[in-house]
A = this chain, B = another copy of it.
Amino acid sequence: MLFNNHTPIYLQIAELLYQKILSGEYRNASRIPSVRDMAVALEVNPNTVTRSYMILQEEGVIENRRGIGYYTNEDAALIVEKKKQKEFLDSEVPSFFARMDQLGLTLNEVLKHLETRKGTIQ
C-alpha cells in the first residue's frame, strides 16, 4: 500500500481501520485481520500494525482476545463516528471559520469558489 510521507504510517493505518469500520467492511463484534496478515497485506512491519491496533484498542474500538486475535467492539462503528464528528466539530470547524474570517473571506465567496472548482477539476 502507498503511504503518505508526512504522517506516520501507524496513524495512516489507524485511519484506514476507522474507515473500514465506518464503511461497514469491518462489522461490529467481528474479527479483524491478524497483525501479521495485515502487515503482509500493507507491506509493512508487524510492529507498525501492532502500534495502530493498540491505538484503537485504547479507544475501545477494538479489543484483543488472548491468543485468538483482535475483534471490533460491539459498538465500534458508533464510537468511531462520534470520535470523528467530535474532532471535526470541535477542532476543524472553528479553525476553518476563524481562518476564513482572518483572510477576509465570506462564506458565500468560499461556497462560490467551491462550485467553480467542482466544475473544472472533478
Contacts and interface: CB of A to CB of B under 8 A. Distances in A.
A87 to B, nearest CB: 9
Given A93-B113, A114-B97, A102 B22 contact: yes
A31 to B, nearest CB: 15
A96 B94 contact: no
B117 A103 contact: no
Nearest to A102: B22
A59 interface: no
A88 B107 CA distance: 13
Contact of A94 (B67, B89, B100, B117): B117
A66 B8 contact: yes
A84 interface: yes
B64 A89 contact: no
B92 A105 contact: no
Interface in A1-32: 3, 5, 8-9, 22
Given A5-B63, A90-B117, 13 more contacts: A8-B66, A81-B103, A85-B103, A88-B100, A88-B105, A89-B110, A92-B99, A93-B110, A93-B113, A93-B114, A94-B114, A96-B96, A97-B114
